[in-house]
Amino acid sequence: MIQRFKASLAITLAIIMTMTGAFAIPKHTYAATVDLEAKSAILVDAETGKVLFEKEADLTLPPASMTKMMTEYLVLEAIKEGSISWDTTTQISEYAYEISANPEFSGVGLKMDKDYTVRELYTAMAVNSDNATTITLAELIAGSESEFVKMMNEKAKEMGLPDYEFVNSTGLNNSHLGDNYPEGTEPDATNMLSARSAALLAYHLINDYPEALDFSSKPTAEFDGQTVTNWNWMIPNMPGHLAAFGYEGVDGLKTGYTELAGNTFTGTAKQDGQRLIAVVMKTDSRESRFRQTAKLFDYGFQHFERKQLFDAGYQLKDESEFEVTKGKEDTVEVETKEALQTLVKNGEEEQYSIKYNVDKDQLNEDGKLEAPVEKGQKVGTAELVYSGEESSGNILPDRNSTTVDLVTTSAVEKSNWFMLMIGGIGDFFADVFTGAVDMVKGWF
């Protein structure tokens, strides 16, 4: 009976242990520190791409007019490459006119047979989220919106966006476009992005083309004799009651709304030299998307600060020397070429350390540097290692760690032929002596 009880108890404990593992409390992340009313969200450092907060950031959802960030990028790229200029003029197509005349969509009221400059069209798109001007720019650059959609998806792939599908230039549902939906897409399709992809798109837009912020930061703009208002109510000095939503440092970036997408927003703000990018998707209302974004910005600016953790010239204790062969010196010291810095959560400075990643191509088969060695020669990298609470990584596919070059502090000349020969002879007799000792040991 006792043996059966012990066996039963052992099985019960095993089951409990298994269930405990299956339902274990997940590792703490920064995401647990903000109570956010949004289906999906992310907060990142706009300089490094470091993720400071995320909530279901990989859910693929309709971005609505946040889609226009990609259109803006491709317009600015075309200007940089010289295929169009800010002063290039164009007229709108019947398709763009139909969209502009539809009161259900954001619109500035475009006119047929009128010349509009790229600057005018871009301003209406960036400030007032105008759909018809967006379509007109897409047609100007690619010849048709269908071809432009191909460019959008190609650029998304090039940027490394993890989750995306572009089916039109505006963010409307294709069903809104009637028979004008882009060729090669489905009549009921819609653009799709994750919050992480939206943040990465915004990162590229404002870092590759910071002039985009000159437009997105305007509370209002003049277009064809009328004043249009920015849908981003977080910009300081918005007119009237909208000023209540203003947030210090906000200068972009793109709102969005459709019935399918709900209310979305990609915002960016800069305070004391630190810029953040926030994305919220599927919030309850226009007002809520800004309130949730303000929570993210408050968290980022209040709890994180960019700090230099290790100076240039830093050396790891007991790892500051590399052995050198065929040189006038037997060793050479190494150090960090630049300072190591990152955005640090308050009180976590001591949870960062450095590790060396040696470039094995710089070493011979014995793991030594071979003379001559130049001063400042790169021998690997020094990587910043975080040992605290689990963080959420980086939106940039190739930047999951912060590193600087690990370089030599001095030069080591190659030893002359005579000394190399003496060294070789010494090595020869050392090998002979070692072999003789081993042989003698074998006799006894």
How many C-beta neighbours within 10 Å does residue 267 have?
29
Chain centroid offset of residue 404 CA: 19
Q: What CA–CA distance (Å, rounded) separates 428 from 34?
A: 68
Q: What CA–CA distance (Å, rounded) separates 31 from 62?
A: 22
Q: Which residues pair with 310 in a beta bridge?
A: 340
At which residue do the structure tokens 């990643």 appear?
357
The first and second tokens of residue 356, run together, are 């060396």
- How far is CA 180 from each of CA 70, 96, 379, rounded to the nearest angstrom? 20, 9, 58
- How far is CA 112 from each of CA 90, 115, 322, rounded to the nearest angstrom? 11, 9, 73
Active-site hit among 40, 65, 197, 216: 65
Chain centroid offset of residue 221 CA: 30
Residue 68: active-site member? yes
> Largest Cα–Cα distance in the chain?
107
Active-site hit among 40, 100, 129, 392: 129
Residue 85: active-site member? no
Residue 129: active-site member? yes
Per-residue 3-state assignment (H helix, E strand, C coil) for 174-212:
HHHHHHHCCCCCCCCCCCEEEHHHHHHHHHHHHHHCCCH
Torsion angle, alpha carbons of 239, 240, 241, 242, to 10:
-10
Residue 384 region by backbone torsions, left for phi larger than 0, else alpha for psi between -120 and 50, else beta? beta
Active-site hit among 40, 50, 55, 68: 68
Q: Which of 295, 378, 391, 399 is nearest to 336 (CA)?
A: 378
- Roughly what angle, to the nearest 10 degrees, separates helices 195-208 and 68-81? 30
Active-site annotation, residues:
65, 68, 129
